[in-house]
Chain A
Amino acid sequence: MNLEKTLFDAYGFTSFRPGQKEVIEKILVGQDVIALLPTGMGKSMCYQLPAHLLEGSVLIVSPLLSLMQDQVAQLKKMGEKSVTALNSFLDPAERSNVLNNLNNYRFIFISPEMLVQPYIKSRLRDIRISLLVADEAHCISQWGFDFRPDYLRIAEILPVLGHPKVLALTATATAKVTEEIKKYLDLSDPYVYTHPMDRKNIAYDIRKFTNGNEKLEWLKSFVSANRGPGIIYAGTRKKSQELSGLLNLAGIRTAFYHGGMEHQDRIFVQQQFQNGELEWVCSTNAFGMGVHIPDISHVIHYQVPTSIEGYVQEVGRAGRDGSPALATLLYAAGDEELLDSLVLDDLPTENEIREIYRNADEGPQLVEQGIVRETSMRVITYWKNHLTEQETIYQIEQQKIEKMKQSAKIRKLIFLESCIREYLMECFDQQLQNKPANCCVKDGLNYNKFLKRRESRAVALSDTWENRLNAILPC
């Protein structure tokens, strides 16, 4: 079979990107696959192409609603028409329409909690699923930075579907997480493809300041002097808003972006960024998915990231076009205190666990009253079905220890004396093969490579509604 020809016929591409062909070949001969491919390396092609060659539908489990929406949009953009998404946003009429025509879809996206609903399960049993894709498969790991208990339910559906072939995709996984993916997805002898984590065109910088004010002043002068496109990651929604406000005042074209904004507004920020109307986006880690800008030349972490995996994923959004990009991590004395609270804030507290266990069926109400946070409710509700209260407390305690290990790794990064690139690779159990010339601040950096002088460009703010109408529709 000529895979290149199929690729060209279906999507008009003449060649595969590294890793895609190996993964696809294994899927086609019927082997389970775990593929570790960095963000932006065309992960989705690994199931798109097999969908054209295998009989039946491909079922893709996706952890985040926004991510799922983006994937559906991307597939449609590539000309795939036979795509649907089963998630809690569908209204009953839409949902029954989709379910009644399920076997007509080549790609079915589904959220993990939908996967185990009895009715949906039975509909899925009735159709032929040739491949189950666990996207962002690291979410299955209890020790990972992005654990989603619902993901453990994927294993429950496999026998129902008659054990289809499984493709687990992730951009970030340590050896430990890969083992867990194997275990929980019940993959006895999978082919594991590991793409080198290293991105040669990204250089690493870490800057330390004695206080927050100095850090802010540095940021202002840096973004004033340098052109984007660039992302400034802030630790919290509030901080992203604050930074964007300050930079706007300094005359820099920037906006904030976070998960608390309505969908339309988030699209608008993406549009502006893509159009070059914005040079910098101040954002939480919500920004990135769904943003397809190949020439991002800067990723700045204004606050210390909470895990190495998250850090590498965010940095990986720079320089997708292969041109030089700079990742700058900013640290002010005392930031690590914030780090601990950020890391541990995500975890349910003992009190929340007790509330959920002792109040039967009142989870949503506890959330409404502000006694239990929504994320905590999701996690605890899952464990409640599997463990006793004491066991859950122990479980969360263990996760806390794991998270502390992660923040220790971040701390080590900040105060590292040796090569940053080498250290990041080590965290993923990989070894650095060869160092690029412009590697990291520890090896000396030539900043001229990525620092483009900023052009002054006035923003075309239409003064009247009539003018804006003309700008949008010049016909």
Chain B
Amino acid sequence: MLFEDILIIILKAVDGERTVSSPYHLLKGKKSGQTIQDIGYYKLHPYFGILPKLEKKVYDKAVQKLFDKGFIIPDGQVVRMSEKSLAYQPTAPSVNGWKYRGNEQVFMARLSLIVQTLSHIHQNHRVFDPVVIADDVQQWVKSYLHRMDYRNEESCRNLKAEIAGSLSKAEVDDSAKKIVLQRLSGYKVGGLTWEQIAAIENKEVIDIRLQAIEALHTWMGIIETEDYPLLKVLLDGLIQKSSLTETARRTESYFKNGRSLEEIAALRGLKTSTIEDHFVELAMNDPGFDILAFMGGALYSKIIAASRSQNTKRLRDIKEIVPEASYFQIRLALATKGEIK
């Protein structure tokens, strides 16, 4: 159900303006210009990259279900929402894909290994098969454990108290918190597979996964903002400092040094269209970005007016009304959401 709700929320936002596979790229976190740009246009940041391993067949099955139920209607290249789905108002899940970028998995991996280690050590079992075999996580956890003085029972109790305290503050369903705990394991307590949890809850695996992600995002938000020193360290390096992709940030620094679009493309050995994508991303995320370096104020106003009067963000529709604007200029203008005076 959760997955279906998310699809409906995304498809509603892009109603009639994007193809049926656009939510797929968004959920997978595809770093293409189109996807990054859509996030800004349609304010879909929360859903970016929350399911990096989403399989096409799982996605297609869910979309087919929406067709079958009459929630969406095909319309040429794009899909439209039906009356039925416009009347349906699903609660938006508390996910923050743009911010966490799949890093909740790293958080969870660190936590799993820490908890498993403490569980064994404090029940007098020194040797066990680690649940996480990735070398970087193992090294990270090893040094974390030494710093927290893990053999001390007091430390174990403190961490447990932080987990219990912060998790109970997270505003998400208890069933979602339980899933997170079922994915943890310890001495004589095995973790549960996604399929096992789904069977117990009588839900689809994808919905269980999403519930876990929702719980983790909410929980990480609490840990980040409140006073949980032992858990806060687990967020090290996981929270996106800049809202830009790495590659767009590099383009930005060239631009700030006075390079032109073409020069940047040549210097970086990238296509100009790729650099254009970066500028759109910059325009979207940086209120101080001067788009008037790329077009006159009059043209800008014309594009915004066209978008508003036709109630559309489709480039082709706007181009018909403002033929003198390039697609790049239209994208830039739209990226600012008309917020420039």
A residues with CB within 8 A of B: 69, 72-73, 77, 94, 241, 248, 255-256, 261-265, 267-272, 274-275, 277-278, 461-462, 464-466, 468-469, 471-475
Contact = CB atoms under 8 A, between A and B. Distances in A.
Interface stretch (B29-37, B41-49, B186-194): B186-194
Contacts of B187: 472
Contact of B164 (A461, A466, A471): A466
Contacts of A72: 133
Contact of B133 (A69, A275, A472, A475): A69
B267 interface: no
Contacts of A248: 199
B188 A465 contact: no
Contacts of A241: 195
Contact of B131 (A264, A466, A471): A264
B182 interface: yes
A263 to B, nearest CB: 7
A475 B122 contact: yes
A475 B153 CA distance: 7
A262 B131 CA distance: 12
Given A77-B129, A263-B133, A473 B186 contact: yes
A340 to B, nearest CB: 28
A94 B135 contact: yes
B129 A468 contact: no
Interface string B110-146: 0000010011001100010111110110000000000
A474 B123 contact: yes
6 contacts: A94-B136, A263-B133, A268-B191, A275-B189, A461-B200, A475-B118
Contact of B130 (A73, A274, A465): A73
Contacts of B135: 94
B133 A473 contact: no
Interface stretch (B155-163, B222-230, B320-328): B155-163
Given A73-B130, A465-B174, A465-B181, A265 B167 contact: no
Contacts of B156: 473, 475
B280 interface: no
Contact of B180 (A263, A275, A465): A465
Contacts of B192: 268
Given A77-B127, A475-B153, A264 B191 contact: yes
B164 A275 contact: no
B164 A469 contact: yes
A267 B160 contact: no
A466 B164 CA distance: 7
A475 B160 contact: yes
B282 interface: no
Given A264-B131, A274-B190, A465-B178, 12 more contacts: A77-B127, A255-B193, A262-B194, A267-B129, A268-B190, A268-B196, A269-B190, A465-B177, A471-B189, A472-B119, A473-B186, A474-B122
B127 to A, nearest CB: 6
The 5 nearest A-B residue pairs measured at CB: A271-B190, A272-B190, A472-B186, A268-B191, A265-B193
Contacts of A94: 135-136
Interface in B167-221: 167-168, 174, 177-178, 180-196, 199-200
A473 B181 CA distance: 11
Contact of B193 (A269, A275, A474): A269
Nearest to B178: A465
A255 B127 contact: no
A467 to B, nearest CB: 9
